[in-house]
Chains A and B, each alone.
Chain A
């Protein structure tokens, strides 16, 4: 077996546990904050159809910080955009707080999105309106019935209390991202979806953003983060690895679990795939029900 160098974006977490098909798809006891069922996303392009997401089943518990990882083109952004209600799946359903986004009209979906979700883009300037100050950015999101001090509170919570009157151009990238996260606090959102929020940040800014995410999680906010950044992983309770539009593994509490989809297909983690150079494996199930994958 030839050992190939590990690509930087891959996660190599051992040991890998292979679950049955009912694993992640099984309904948890409490209603999850995010539930995806058989989600498929197909883009129509000039060169033909592009299958971005190929039937994902996923549950994310409320208050959980979840990472979505995978190589470029694996479907991370498409999945997160569908969960955020920014796009509709080509097939399947996406629920947030028990609301099936696919069954809503455009208007109601937009309203639901406005009520439930904060979306944080990769580029800090994309999350803010350039002409408003930090306080104004947040104030416009505060519901009428909310406490007027919520803006100051949010800014203080995320370490931005000295920047009330600063416009985005006067803030660092890390501060901009934290301000973007603060929107969730003032808007009372229960779900934050961040698409590589630290990709353009230096170490110190990254740490500040991660601290902000921790604070959000402490407030019970469900955080869903797509990332390539290994520094983010320790802050996540659950990591979902995607490959070719499907879930390759789910890692919780240091245990990486491979996923068998409804068609019985198993995606091995990349590190495990490297062990099978001919893309062939022998699967043995012993008397105790343990499954072993061996090289042929």
Chain B
């Protein structure tokens, strides 16, 4: 017969007890925080991938282009233009649309001037909105009538035209005769996105050149059959164009005003493009005028590569699922462990109530039911707090504190499991609170547990090694460091306990007070020991994961410097034209597979251009020597030999010869740990291309070889390495009509899931370690609080035996801190072989020199450990001081029977 007030009072129990409330809320908040953090870490990784994909995306991703065939009639043009602009105006991320109208190139038109001069020339009339403000006008703008055409400087020079001159077009393009030359811009092609190479140096052009980066309809063909350019773009004002009545191509182009800085903005931008496409095709108010403009000449084309970029990004992100799931599982495990710790505290805190209710006949279902009723509200609040905290921290740390990045289902499932699990455990604990005390953990039981842990670690050790370089991040990878560290720390803690017990006889000789302290250290409670061990394992995980993240970063940078040489590497199929001027920060590196004698060993000779290599390549510090020093060595005098740099750890003769047709004698003048484009499979020699060519030329002259033979640097396989992006490099090569393949960029490689996955997983693991340390510190405070009565008894007795409360508190704090220091040192030592075991699995290009070496950041970690030690010490000290402030009678009355 329980009234509502009693039920309400029952439910309000946790809200009256701050410690209980904190424990219940923390037990729910911790898993929610960790799982939400995993989602947010994944979101950060996805954003990073999206950003890297967008770096390599074509420049056209920065704008949206809609093209439609059009019959140039004023009414239809204006109607379609108004409708199209409405669509662009409603797109949030796009700026105002600008319209370009292009006529097909005329086969050969006739331009006539007022003076009667005429010339046959292929013309392309273009109207470009905003041209009068965008173009760099080299001549005065005539105010005559306000209508006219813009011609190129070449055309002006060819015809002797100036602003105000009348110009008539006949035959193919019918420009009305009353149009005059309004102005002469110098950069017409630039405004369209390209530079007309004929504009300044017509004689430099090859027979046919294609300008990339321009819409297909706008790409002009530069035909110069007699070595002279005879093509011109003529900018025409809108009324002129609209009145022509001919078929053209109409393009609306809107620039993206918000940069794509992550997956979300990429998705949003892509969705916007799809919306635009839908409106141009399906929405009558837009599709109607546009269709009328096209008059059946063709369909609207919304051009963007964003959907492709998004698909690429999503594919890369999907590869993160496995490492993400494995890492998140560790988070779930830690969260549930924290949750269980909270449950243990709740049980300890409610022990008195449980004994009473169990004495009255309550069984586990009643206990569990009450636990659910009492913990649901705090669990809800705790879960919400955990999620909010994760968002806040992720925003501060990663800049991804977005609610929509969270998958709430696992958070809710774990919250329900946690509440149910704790309720079940509480029920069982409640029912058993009256029963016989459970047998204490015997030494044999502990030893068996340690054996199981050690066996698990061994199993994981071999499992991780077996999947070397192929397995990526899986559960074994995540569990190995945790299991390994836990085993090492547990063995040492077990050893300390056993050692202390065996030396109790010695401690007895130290006197009663010291004996008490000794016993306290020995039997300080399984709870305190567990928390200390947990803290040490967390510190070890933090160090290990941090070292792996840092090592992976450094190894990746070094490997990419070896593999790519610079930001972009292109494999040239044919040699570059003689005398071509490379873009800035670009070089060409030659590679030649050859044999080195003595020994007849296969080797790769890397030929660098000393003049351009320095600005183009990435030269990490751990190559061993500075680039300037290396170039000086390559330019040094080696007598009759060619100076060469060899890689350490690679056994090539210090002096010898390489080459098949031309044997080059070389002398090793220095050693590097790696080199740009160094071979993965065979030893490499680095030489200066100009010295090599000169050497070979001299040799050929000496033996009277044919002068037509090409120098070795041009015969070698050529790799263009540049600090520029892929688009610029490709544009350069396309301009030259040089064939190439395998364009690889640093950003694209870094977006690989094989690289992002481990980095994400271990980054998250490090995060878990830091959170676990915080949890452990709080848990220690709660553990001390839960064992208050027992500790108070010991404390009061010790104080009554003559110890000063302050000293006692300090000694006790020191005991815990010493245990923590010992176990942390063990964890740090154990972390090293574990990290060394894991690292080879994630070396992105394992055969490339140099071999990865673990980077240990002991400095920041030492600071963190110091903070933890101070926090733990202060917690214990405060707890002990509080315990010793109590009176003996009060303590004895509180002591559980």
Contact = CB atoms under 8 A, between A and B. Distances in A.
Contacts of B10: 131-132
Interface in B334-360: 352-353, 355-360
A231 interface: no
A110 B355 contact: no
Contacts of B358: 86, 110
A43 B13 contact: no
Given A136-B9, A139-B3, A148-B1, A45 B440 contact: yes
A144 B434 contact: no
A114 interface: yes
A44 B6 contact: no
A77 interface: yes
A140 interface: yes
Given A122-B897, A139-B3, A131 B9 contact: yes
Interface string B12-32: 110010000000000000000
Contacts of A132: 6, 9-10
A93 B599 CA distance: 94
Interface in A5-53: 43-46
B356 A110 contact: no
B2 A77 contact: no
A113 B359 contact: yes
B1 to A, nearest CB: 4
Contacts of A81: 434
Nearest to B435: A87
Interface string A128-141: 11111100100111
B434 A87 contact: yes
A184 B362 CA distance: 16
A43 B436 contact: yes
A66 interface: no
A77 B893 contact: no
A119 interface: yes
A148 B2 CA distance: 11
B509 interface: no
Interface residues of B, number: 31
Interface in B432-446: 434-437, 439-440, 442
A121 B893 CA distance: 13
A44 B439 contact: yes
B16 A131 contact: yes
Interface in B730-767: none
A242 interface: no
A258 to B, nearest CB: 29
A179 to B, nearest CB: 12
B434 A128 contact: no
B116 interface: no
Nearest to A129: B353
B789 to A, nearest CB: 11
B639 interface: no
B363 A128 contact: no
Given A110-B362, A114-B360, A87 B3 contact: no
Contacts of A131: 9-10, 12-13, 16
B361 A110 contact: yes
Nearest to B353: A129
B5 interface: yes
A46 B440 contact: yes
A126 interface: yes
A131 B9 CA distance: 6
B258 to A, nearest CB: 56
A77 B897 contact: yes
B788 to A, nearest CB: 15
A56 interface: no
A4 interface: no
A226 B434 CA distance: 18
B360 A127 contact: no
A235 interface: no
B607 to A, nearest CB: 76
Contacts of B1: 139-140, 142-144, 146, 148
A46 B352 CA distance: 24
A200 B897 CA distance: 14
A163 interface: no
A139 B2 contact: yes
Nearest to A120: B359
Contacts of A86: 358-359, 434-435
A130 to B, nearest CB: 8
Contacts of B440: 45-46
A119 B433 CA distance: 15
B3 A136 contact: yes
Given A84-B359, A110-B363, A148-B1, A123 B893 contact: yes
Contacts of B357: 129
A140 B355 contact: no
B12 A127 contact: no
Contacts of B442: 46
A111 interface: yes
A125 interface: yes
A223 to B, nearest CB: 16
A140 B2 contact: yes
A292 to B, nearest CB: 41
Contact of A119 (B6, B13, B359): B359
A184 to B, nearest CB: 11
A129 B353 CA distance: 6
Nearest to B12: A131
Nearest to B13: A131
A265 interface: no
Nearest to B895: A123
A140 B6 contact: yes
Nearest to B9: A131
B437 A43 contact: yes
Contacts of A119: 359-360
Given A87-B436, A131-B9, A107 B355 contact: no
Nearest to B439: A44
B148 to A, nearest CB: 92
A139 B6 contact: yes
A200 B435 CA distance: 25
A136 B6 contact: yes
Contact of A127 (B6, B356, B362, B434): B356
A114 B6 contact: no
A262 to B, nearest CB: 25
A126 B356 contact: yes
Contact of B355 (A87, A126, A141, A144): A126
A142 B10 CA distance: 17
A106 to B, nearest CB: 8
Contacts of B13: 131
Given A43-B436, A139-B6, 17 more contacts: A77-B897, A106-B431, A110-B362, A110-B363, A113-B359, A113-B360, A114-B360, A114-B362, A121-B355, A126-B355, A127-B356, A128-B356, A131-B10, A139-B2, A140-B2, A142-B1, A143-B1
> What 10 A-B pairs are tightest by C-beta distance, nearest first?
A114-B361, A136-B6, A110-B361, A142-B1, A86-B434, A46-B440, A140-B2, A119-B359, A113-B361, A131-B9
Interface of B: 1-3, 5-6, 9-10, 12-13, 16, 352-353, 355-363, 431, 434-437, 439-440, 442, 893, 897
6 contacts: A86-B358, A129-B353, A129-B357, A130-B353, A131-B12, A140-B2
